[in-house]
Amino acid sequence: MTALALCAGLPGLTAHQHGERLTLATADFAAELSLAGGQLLGYAPTGQRPWLYLSPQARSAAGKAIRGGVPLCWPWFGAHPDDPGQPAHGVARTAPWRLDDARLDAGVLALQLSGPHHGGLAATLTLELGPAGFALTLATRNDGTAPVRFSQALHSYFAVGDCREVTLSGLEAAGYDDKVDGGRHPASGAPLRFTSETDRIYYPAPDAVLRLADPQWQRVLTLAAQGSGSSVVWNPWVDKAAALADLPDDAWPRFVCVETANAGDDARVLAPGATQRLGVRVSAGAFDPCSNAPRPTDAV
């Protein structure tokens, strides 16, 4: 059955397909998904600002990564560990994915997708989209006979009012590798603010809960990780943004990437027959103007 046919039959769901892109909406939320890359491109509860940033200059051509939403970096994050001829961030974000199943239960749309096989590893993705947020789980199964080392990231572009005003908390106690200065840094003890080009792999305690507080849009996004011991935080700032052909020069303040990952020292070795699940669950709460941080009671 085609992706559209799987979705179109669900009562309460409106589904449209344009090429590789599926738009999906209920009375409670709207989302967009690209089968090229298995990539969630957009999500917002009805009446809310977008939760994910999608570049208006994103390329949708075959073999090109789409800048925005949640590209899947798999089965390596960043440069290939041994072969500089391989594409950055792996093969999943430019591979065709297939929608295998779609269900709408109690207002939550659950989608199952299968993706590429590479080097003995197979990728599947579970997406849950509901009125109060979304969750992604990327599962990697080792179908081969030898252990395989791999790394990965859910490269989430979160839409914000202005990245210079947001605060990311939950990484205060985590040391990090900084790709901008090339150094390894101890924990700062403070929430993260964006004041210049930022490209870091943080190593928080497993399954960290991060909070992205946005005073301009009066909202806090809560990102709860699963199967992760690293978080990549990226914003290209002025010069790098100008060098990216698929991003408007002035778009860098409108997003921050906070990527639930197994990256850097948190790369994993998967035994034959074993499965690793990397997930993030994203929900929203109201902004607290007094503390520039979420109130505990704001959890959805």
Ligand X SMILES: O=P(O)(O)OC[C@H]1O[C@H](O)[C@H](O)[C@@H](O)[C@@H]1O
**Structure tokens that stand for 139 in this block:** 């599962």
The nearest distance, CB 240 to ligand X, in angstroms, is 7
Q: Does 32 engage in binding with ligand X (CB under 6 A)? A: no
- The nearer residue to ligand X, 44 or 232, going by C-beta atoms, is 232
The nearest distance, CB 39 to ligand X, in angstroms, is 12
The nearest distance, CB 193 to ligand X, in angstroms, is 18
Burial class, 128, CB count within 10 angstroms (exposed 0-12 / middle 13-18 / buried 19+): middle
Size of the site for ligand X (CB under 6 A): 9
d(CA 71, CA 154): 6
Q: Cβ-closest residue to ligand X?
A: 234
Site for ligand X in 270-299 (CB under 6 A): none
DSSP string, 65-104: --SBSB-EEBS-SSS-SS-TTSPTTBSGGGSB-EEEEEEE
- The nearer residue to ligand X, 98 or 185, going by C-beta atoms, is 185
d(CA 175, CA 202): 6
DSSP 8-class letter at 298: G
d(CA 139, CA 30): 25
Site for ligand X in 159-178 (CB under 6 A): none
Q: Does 89 engage in binding with ligand X (CB under 6 A)? A: yes
Q: Does 232 engage in binding with ligand X (CB under 6 A)? A: yes
Among 21, 64, 80, 179, binds ligand X (CB under 6 A): 179
Q: Does 136 engage in binding with ligand X (CB under 6 A)? A: no
- The nearer residue to ligand X, 27 or 88, going by C-beta atoms, is 88
Q: Mask: binding to ligand X, 189-218, rule CB under 6 A, as x and -?
A: ----------x-------------------
d(CA 7, CA 101): 9
**Structure tokens that stand for 29 in this block:** 């939320």
Among 3, 15, 35, 65, binds ligand X (CB under 6 A): 65
**Structure tokens that stand for 245 in this block:** 């052909």
The nearest distance, CB 86 to ligand X, in angstroms, is 12
d(CA 214, CA 300): 16
Q: Is the peptide bond before 11 cis (omega within 30 degrees of 0)?
A: no
| Cα within 13 Å of Cα(97), Cβ side | 32
Among 79, 88, 238, 243, binds ligand X (CB under 6 A): 88
- The nearer residue to ligand X, 93 or 141, going by C-beta atoms, is 93
Among 203, 234, 237, 255, binds ligand X (CB under 6 A): 234
d(CA 177, CA 210): 18
Buried b (16+ CB within 10 A) or exposed e, 253-274: bbbbbbbbbbbbebbbebeeee
- The nearer residue to ligand X, 213 or 233, going by C-beta atoms, is 233
Q: Does 79 engage in binding with ligand X (CB under 6 A)? A: no
The nearest distance, CB 62 to ligand X, in angstroms, is 17
Residues in contact with ligand X by the rule CB under 6 A: 65, 78, 88-89, 179, 199, 232, 234, 257
